[in-house]
Amino acid sequence: MDINSMILEEFGQKVLDARRRKGLSQRAVAERTGVPQAHISKIEQGRVDIRLSSLVELARALDLEVLLLPRQALPAVEGAVRAVESEASVGAERRALATLAQHERALEQIRAANPSLTLVEKLLSTSRELKLMPYDAETLKALQRALAPVEQIRQQLASAGPDDAKLGKLLDRVNRSLRALRNAQVSALPRPASRSALPAYRLDEDDDD
């Protein structure tokens, strides 16, 4: 076993021991730190698909002392972290694109059945913008939660179909959720160096019509 694996396993064991001493479940630690429960499980196993900042949050939550890694181990550990994070990000982005494509197909069905619903066009426009945004596991989950009502509408249209009032409320709920997600994504993008370099997207605050 190389030194990098030893360091990661040692830290994982410390996290596991500290969590058990405090009588906390992995879910409870996840809620305290904002680190996904699945990642906590992998940390305790000595795996590296975790941001270094998350290690600090875990140490704080469990009253652990964060020890500096040996200098010679840093390049390998940081490289491994970047590689795994990059792979996870690519996977999340692929799933997000597939989710949005399915969402757009459902919206097209809704528009065909209800051509008077102008809100559908706004949803399609927001969906196209969201395709250009970066995704990780958390933003993918947020996207899937926001789009859940669209699938409900599609299924109802395949049977009896919802009444116009209910349909409008469901679509408005999706619209607001997607706009909130889009705005959060835009806010997280790197800001331009000067005001002359305008961002490609702006926060949507007044488009409530």
Tell me the per-residue pLDDT of 115-133, one tens digit each, with 9 for 90 and over.
877 888 888 988 888 888 8
pLDDT over 50 (residue 165): yes
- Angle (CA) 162 163 165, round 5°: 120
Question: Band of the pLDDT at 196, cuts 50, 70, 90?
Answer: very low
Query: Highest mean pLDDT: which of 32-36, 87-91, 192-196?
Result: 32-36
Cα separation, 174 vs 185, whole angstroms: 16
Task: Give the DSSP letter string of 9-32.
Answer: HHHHHHHHHHHHHTT--HHHHHHH
Measure Cα distances from 107 to 72, 142, 152, 155, 203 in Å: 54, 19, 11, 12, 23
Q: What is the mean pLDDT of the chain?
A: 73
Say whether pLDDT at 195 is over 50. no
* Rounded distance between C-alpha atoms, residue 72 and residue 94, angstroms: 35
Q: Which two three-digit tokens encode residue 203?
A: 């926060």
Which CATH superfamily does the domain covering 3-67 fall into? lambda repressor-like DNA-binding domains (1.10.260.40)
pLDDT at 48: 55
**Percentage of the chain modeled with pLDDT above 70:** 63
Q: What is the model's pLDDT at position 84? A: 47
The pTM (predicted TM-score) of the whole model is 0.48
Domain ranges of the chain: 3-67, 90-188
> Rounded to an integer, what distance in angstroms lies between the CA atom of residue 174 and that of residue 198?
28
What's the pLDDT at 52?
57
